[in-house]
Amino acid sequence: MGWAARGVVTAIGGVVLMLAACAADDTSGGGADAITVRGCNPENTLVPSMTMESCGGQVVDQLFSRLVRYDPDTAEPRYEIAESIESDDNQTWTIEIAEGWTFHNGEPITAQSFVDAWNWAAYAPNGTPNSYFFRGIEGYQDLQPADDAEPSGQITADMVSSEEMSGLNIVDELTFTVTLSQPEPSFPKRVGYVAFAPLPEEFYEDPEEFGENPIGSGPFEFIEWVRNSEIKLRGYDEYQGETMPQIDEVTFKIYQDEGAAYSDLQADNLDLVPQLPISALAGDAYRDDLPGRYVEKEALVVSTISFAPESVDDSFADPRLRTAISMAIDREAITETIFHGSREPATGWVAPGVEGYEPGVCGDYCMYDPEHARELFDEAGGYDGTLTLSYNSDGDNKSWIDAVCNSIMNTLDVECVGTPVSDFSTFRSQINDREMTGMFRNQWQADYPSIESFLAEVYVTGASGNDSDYSNPDFDELIEDAGSSQGDDAIAKYNEAEELLVEDMPSVPLWYSSTIAGYSTKVDNVKITPFQTVDLLSVVIK
């Protein structure tokens, strides 16, 4: 999700961020230069703090600028709106905004634009999925219900004590400070996530309506959203980044079937498919179908099986059952026969490519071992009824879901069936509303290039990505300690925290993903980021 930035080197709290500039062409595309990208149904409206899934994320990434963006090749943070992010103690950060930035309606971007947006996102009654990302800011807890409130439904204003975090303070029009509840050296990396985007004043008049017709500040501006059909954007001529869009318009075409999207790509009726379907991987068919028009890249992604929270379905409360299921899955065979070698069996919960990744963390528990799996299954008391593994049917999931279920059935002698849900939006809504029972597919794509993103955002108690409501106080404490540490000390604590997941098995690691994307004869210079998204600023029309 990275873009070119100012060519400077800035010391931030003892950590040096290299901000090397990429070559830039400051002309936007001319004439009717328009492209199409394979899209899918966003779960929520197009508000940054309401978007924590890839269908909406690939759109809001283009619409909204942040303090930093991530380099499309390396994922390293580079300044975008920020002029500087500095701290002497890693706890109080001074952020200076570059002059001249505006929203797409012409409103200037100021320190207030950030402070108001972050407070709104963190304020629990607003119900934002990304509220958790602001947890480190002093005063965040005042915007959350008290521990003894135990809200069972909608969180209301009377349940919280403040609407603003005390750790956010405006110095002048272009400068604000962020005081954290403890030192966090990784803070500058985190603020490139889209939840930290600023918002214009118009947003607060009607957030719901704004999400249907967003006004951003990024390289592309919103045109229209036709539900279940397409989302259309155009290049923003006044974008202040150093690399301007080379295309006039981009349309995210929403498909319900991966095969149909691939057929359109082959026929030049679709220009970009960020992840080719499994059918195109067999025998490397895509190499012949798309000669010279594909991109292969490692991704910061790990696929897992999640379990419904115990409050929804207590069938999987015993970690021995979850571990038995893990050991009943023949990852090697599935990644080879179904994914044709484009996936690598996972041995832990952190994907390769980030500092601190440690192979083999899960040990034998992520290895196919039918005998041990059956022993654990019996010790856990087995399973009454049929195991269900839910997935969104508008994605390329059925073949591997069936393969996983077959492996579980053959090993544990228990029925297992894949349960399709109509589309990704409905699928995620059922998970977030705690309506999903049984097991369900999951895939975590790093929000920022750090081991913290794979652990803290998914397995800390109450984290935004904690779909199973997993809670382990020892894990939480290690993650908190890691966040306030630096270098090898921080990595050691993150590694120790990940090791706790082995015994608990809150989810089952399946495989790490590689991205194999394809593009039409119309476009060139296609780049896929480590986050499995298309870098639209690199794309040119032939």
Tens-digit pLDDT profile for the chain (542 aa)?
321 222 222 333 333 333 333 333 333 333 358 999 999 999 999 999 999 888 999 999 999 999 999 999 999 999 999 999 999 999 999 999 999 999 999 999 999 999 999 999 999 999 999 999 999 999 999 999 986 555 567 899 999 999 999 999 999 999 999 999 999 998 999 999 999 999 999 999 999 999 999 999 999 999 999 999 999 999 999 999 988 999 999 999 999 889 999 999 999 999 999 999 999 999 999 999 999 999 999 999 999 999 999 999 999 999 999 999 999 999 999 999 999 999 999 999 999 999 999 999 999 999 999 999 999 999 999 999 999 999 999 989 999 999 999 999 999 999 999 999 999 989 999 999 999 999 999 999 998 899 999 999 999 999 989 999 999 999 999 999 999 998 999 999 999 999 999 999 999 999 999 899 999 999 999 999 999 899 999 999 99
Q: Residue 224 contacts by C-beta under 8 Å, 6 or more apart in sequence?
A: 231, 232
Sign of CA dihedral 26, 448, 530, 401: negative
In the prediction, which pLDDT does 150 show? 55
Note the pLDDT of residue 149. 56
Q: Given the structure tokens 């400077």, which residue do they identify?
A: 8
Query: Which pTM value belongs to this model?
Result: 0.85
pLDDT of res. 458: 96
104-122: burial string, b at 16+ Cβ within 10 Å, e else: beeeebbbebbbbbbbbbb
Of 465, 526, 46, 2, the closest CA to residue 276 belongs to 526
267-301 burial, b if ≥16 CB within 10 A, otherwise e? Answer: eeebbbbbbbbbebbeeeebeeebeebbbeeebbb
Cα angle value 512/513/519 (rounded, 5°): 175
> Encoding tokens for residue 489?
């000390």
Pairing of strands 68-70, 77-79: antiparallel
What 3 state SS string does 389-458 have? EEEECCCCCHHHHHHHHHHHHHHHCCCEEEEEECCHHHHHHHHHCCCCCCEEEEEEECCCCCHHHHHHHH
Q: CA–CA distance from 107 to each of 112, 199, 216, 391, 396 (Å)? A: 12, 10, 10, 42, 41
> Cβ(328)–Cβ(274) under 8 Å?
no
Task: List, in order of start, the domains of the chain with CATH numbers.
Answer: 8-235 (3.40.190.10), 300-514 (3.10.105.10)
- Distance, CA of 360 to CA of 366 (rounded, Å): 9
Nearest to 447 by CA among 3, 20, 133: 133
Q: Strand 387-392 relative to strand 439-445: parallel, antiparallel, unpaired? A: parallel
| Amino acid making up residue 26 | D
Query: How high is the pLDDT of residue 152?
Result: 60
Find, among 362, 339, 349, the residue nearest to 302 by Cα: 349
DSSP 266: H
* Biggest distance spanned by C-alpha atoms of the chain: 68
Quote the CA–CA distance of 122 and 418 in Å, as a whole number: 36
The two tokens of residue 439 are: 């097991």
